[in-house]
Amino acid sequence: MTISEHEAWELLRTYEKLFSAQDIPSILEGFTDDAEVIFADVPAIRGQAAIEQFLTTRFARQRDYTLTKTLRSVVDNVVIGTWEGDWTDPETGTQMQGRGAEILTLAADGRCARWEAYFNTWATNEERSSTWTTPTT
């Protein structure tokens, strides 16, 4: 299967809307039955039931989630993108932000067979910190 750049953008726009709406049933329709999710430091997640549980847990921690995805590359059946998100932590009320990259590998039917996501998050009102800093002179 080969996906065009236009189709890849459309796919990301669809996921953007579904994730912002936290529409788990519709999100799951876009995954194969045996899909694998590699999400940051979470152990590999396999199959729709496990993905549903993961999304349910994740969305419970993200109130008023908004998401923007950007296509960076598409090669054959692989879509590479970046994303930025904003949400409120429902337990603390803290405004949060995140930024990351993802790789979507699509099956022959166009559904996602593998989703790899890597990201950083931080509280909006706090100074960002990282072990990688720009030296000052």
125 — pLDDT class (breaks 50, 70, 90): confident
| Per-residue pLDDT tens digits for 74-106 | 999 999 999 999 999 999 999 999 999 999 999
Question: Which pTM value belongs to this model?
Answer: 0.88
Secondary structure (3-state) at 72: strand
| Per-residue pLDDT tens digits for 7-23 | 999 999 999 999 999 99
Q: What is the dihedral of CA 79, 80, 86, 89, to 10 degrees?
A: 80
Q: Mean of the pLDDT values across residues 24-48?
A: 96
Secondary structure (3-state) at 15: helix
| Per-residue pLDDT tens digits for 49-67 | 999 999 999 999 999 999 9
126 — pLDDT class (breaks 50, 70, 90): confident
The dihedrals phi and psi of 72, each to the nearest 5 degrees, come to -110, -30
In the predicted structure, residue 27 carries a pLDDT above the cut 70: yes
- Could you tell me the domains of the chain? 5-123 (3.10.450.50)
pLDDT score for 136? 55
